[in-house]
């Protein structure tokens, strides 16, 4: 659910001008549609304007409000630090952003929100990139920071290379060495069906793609999980609204993920998207084209835990 992470280049920014926390009606609507899990992006620099400094009480209050709405409508939140392995553009682990500062913010986050009944999991960093030499170490610091406070909830670890599902095995064997005293790590990959996997879909001819293309995009991640006996989740995926062939690809991918007990969160709903081509937020009260396919896969009870099954 979008909003709080918008315009990260505008710091600190102003709510409902540069970024926008969703109001209660968004939770009411999506809960009514059967959605009970939200991935919710927040920005480190807004939460902690000075590295190592105090947290911003206004931003905290807005996150608190979000948890309150989620709880009211029986929804759970994956709290996502949406920072690409950086703080103010500097990679975690460099001299500008020591690993200990990242551990510290994850401890702050757990201390602040682990008591929230609506908190489901910690997504400790969105789409690490350009940080191959740093992210495996940083991820361990992030895990350790959470576990100082919260010894039970899942910790979601995204992979190097923008968490690309397709290229996951190339860049992420180093994450196999992560240690969690709770043994509750869930690896998270992202998948879009354009060539660079970034979700812009520019110059992509859908007519040249096989209907199983979405399956092929996520298969390397799923096979990596099977090979190493790990659990996984697709944290982002999305398709354009302009051709039903995209919907077929998404449908096939979701069927494959369901078969392997790999849950997924769609990018995206929530305020501020307008006519954005991947948004599933209704426009003018009218459902978006992607929703008919997506809703086939909610309330799924075929799996009791994260897959793939052993």
CB 103 within 8 A of CB 97: no
Three-state SS for 110?
A: helix
Measured at the CA of 43, the angle between CA 14 and CA 149, to 5 degrees, comes to 125
Question: Which token pair is 180?
Answer: 């969690």
d(CA 110, CA 116): 10
Percent helix, strand, coil in the chain (nearest 5)? Answer: 35, 15, 50
Residues 6+ positions from 268 with CB-CB distance below 8 Å: 1, 2, 238, 278, 279, 280, 281
d(CA 260, CA 201): 27
The residue ranges of DSSP E strands in the chain, in sequence order, are: 37-42, 76-81, 86-87, 90-91, 119-123, 155-158, 185-192, 232-238
CB 285 within 8 A of CB 238: no
Nearest to 265 by CA among 225, 290, 238: 238
State the catalytic residues.
Answer: 127, 236
The neighbour count for residue 98, using CB atoms within 10 Å, is: 15
């Amino acid at each position: 659910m979008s909003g709080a992470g918008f315009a990260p280049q505008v710091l600190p920014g102003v709510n409902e001008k540069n970024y926008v926390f969703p109001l209660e009606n968004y939770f009411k609507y999506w809960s009514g549609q059967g959605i009970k899990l939200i991935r919710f992006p927040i920005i480190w620099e807004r939460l902690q304007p000075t590295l190592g400094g105090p947290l911003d009480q206004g931003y905290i209050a807005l996150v608190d409000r979000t948890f309150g709405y989620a709880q009211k409508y029986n929804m759970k939140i994956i709290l996502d630090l949406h920072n690409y392995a950086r703080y103010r553009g500097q990679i975690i682990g460099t001299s500008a952003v020591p690993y200990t500062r990242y551990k510290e913010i994850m401890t702050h986050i757990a201390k602040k929100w682990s008591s929230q009944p609506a908190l489901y999991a910690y997504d400790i960093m969105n789409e690490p990139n350009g940080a191959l030499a740093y992210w495996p170490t940083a991820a361990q610091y992030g895990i350790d920071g959470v576990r100082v406070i919260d010894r039970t909830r899942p910790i979601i670890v995204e992979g190097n290379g923008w968490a690309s599902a397709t290229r996951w095995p190339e860049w992420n064997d180093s994450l196999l060495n992560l240690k969690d005293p709770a043994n509750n790590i869930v690896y998270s990959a992202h998948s879009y069906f354009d060539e660079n996997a970034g979700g812009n879909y520019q110059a992509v001819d859908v007519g040249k793609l096989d209907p199983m293309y979405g399956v092929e995009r996520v298969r390397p991640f799923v096979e990596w999980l099977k090979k190493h006996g790990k659990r996984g989740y697709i944290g982002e995926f999305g398709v354009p609204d302009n051709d039903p062939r995209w919907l077929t690809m998404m449908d096939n991918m979701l069927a494959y993920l369901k078969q392997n007990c790999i849950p997924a969160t769609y990018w995206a709903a929530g305020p501020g998207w307008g006519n954005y081509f991947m948004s599933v937020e209704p426009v003018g009260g009218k459902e978006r084209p992607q929703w008919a396919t997506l809703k086939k896969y909610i309330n799924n009870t075929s799996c009791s835990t994260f897959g793939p099954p052993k």
